[in-house]
Amino acid sequence: MAKWQHVVGATPSGLYRVFLGPFDCVIPKTPQAIVEIMSQYAFEKPALNREGLVRSLGVGLVVAEGDVHRFQRRIFNPIFGLNRNRRLVPQVWPIALILREKIEDLVKKSRGSVVLDVHSLTMATTLDIVGITTLGVNFDSIRNPSDSILQAYEMVYPSPDNPSLIDQVVGIIFATLVPPRLLFKLPLRSIRQYHKGMRMLRSFYLTQIRQKRKEIENTSFDDTEPREKDILSALIASGLKDDKELLSHVLTTMAAGHDTTAVTLDWAIYRLSRHPEVQDRLRAEIQILRADQSLDTIPSLDAINSMPYLRAFVMEVLRFYPAVPLIGRVAASSTTVGGVVIAKGQGVLVSPYAINRQKDLWGEDAHEFDVGRWEASPTGGAKSAQALYTFSGGPRICVGKDLALISIKVLLVVLVERFCFEEVVPGFHPPFQKDTTLKAQGLKVKVSVV
């Protein structure tokens, strides 16, 4: 789609109508058209996709529509505010040190360098991070790959080389229009594994919800720390009492923060291995930050955010590899976009991957990975504030984007300070997995201690 959007010319409305097999879709190309679509609750998730997501996540922020979504955002927005962001670095840093220790051990055992399966480590790492930030629980998945919760997530969201049931189901839905309620009953091993994993997750999270509620009830009103130390505590303290509703929020937060952050970190590590000059500059900036500190000293959030080259690198990774490359919507009612009437039921496809690489928004080098564009301009030189759509936009913009950004920055500071990343096969770019997230198939890098 990115190549196609570059080839086709402009239209007065900024919209294109295409037929993808049996699907009649409208695709917005201009920032104005994209904003009009993404800012309206009139465009909802397709019914079949929503049905599949409800079965996995319940009706949380990812699935909710209209007034229900507005209500949920009013609860979540203050929870994901600046106070929580300042708590993130001390929460994420110890997990980053555990990852550093794990890789050091692997390098030592391999006598100087080791070829790593990147995704398995990043998935374990981000699971530990979202466990701490959401539940106040460290699963210790990095040191213990046999952890039951990590195993459950691998049943539901397997590796890039083994697509998950959800991704298979989404593909079948698009191809055949078979409802998830039927697909989830098929006598396949992957479906049995999926159901087993979901039972494990729901049981564990319900136990955590009930335990957390008891903690909150036994906490004095003036003692706010236990109420705010993790997202679940904040949700309960906000007045949410229904276990089913809380379970939906926990499942959604864990899934959304786990997979997408791991995918972004995968591509960041890959790009470090491809660009040693970027790695050297980033390490030099880290050394300035850490000049008077030990390896284990935790820097402040302000210190992390004051690193311009780190920001530039992370922003270019986010631009070039949006974790969610395609967003599907359906018009829930008749409306207009760019002066064109969009009928009820009309399908719409918004591609952050294509938008982030449009030459008319990012310049002639839009298809090149260039950290320097963010050094020259805080907007990366984009011609519109809506040119970067990695975190979506409008009322559905990712509520946890700061958590993801801070986590990625902290992990990169710890890893780049200690390790050198090199390509295993020079010039090799991992193919994208056809998936709901932009996973890399077969991503391996060579790692040694600096």
Give dist(CA 195, CA 201) in Å, integer: 10
Instruction: Tell how far CA 328 is from the center of its chain.
Output: 17
Structure tokens at 198: 């979901």
Check: CB of residue 409 under 8 Å from CB of residue 314: yes
Any residues with CB less than 8 A from the CB of 400 and at least 6 apart, and which?
80, 253, 256, 257
Q: Tell me if 25 is assigned to a ligand binding site.
A: no
Please name the amino acid found at residue 326: L
Instruction: Find out whether 302 and 87 touch, Cβ atoms under 8 Å.
Output: no
What does the alpha-carbon distance between residue 301 and residue 124 come to, in Å, rounded to a whole number? Answer: 23
Distance CA 31, CA 384 (A): 7
Give me the residue label for tokens 């591509």. 267
Q: How far is CA 372 from the centre of its chain?
A: 24
CA distance 285 to 413: 9
| 20 backbone dihedrals φ, ψ, rounded to 5° | -105, 90
Q: Which residues make up each annotated binding site?
A: 398
Specify binding-site residues for heme: 398
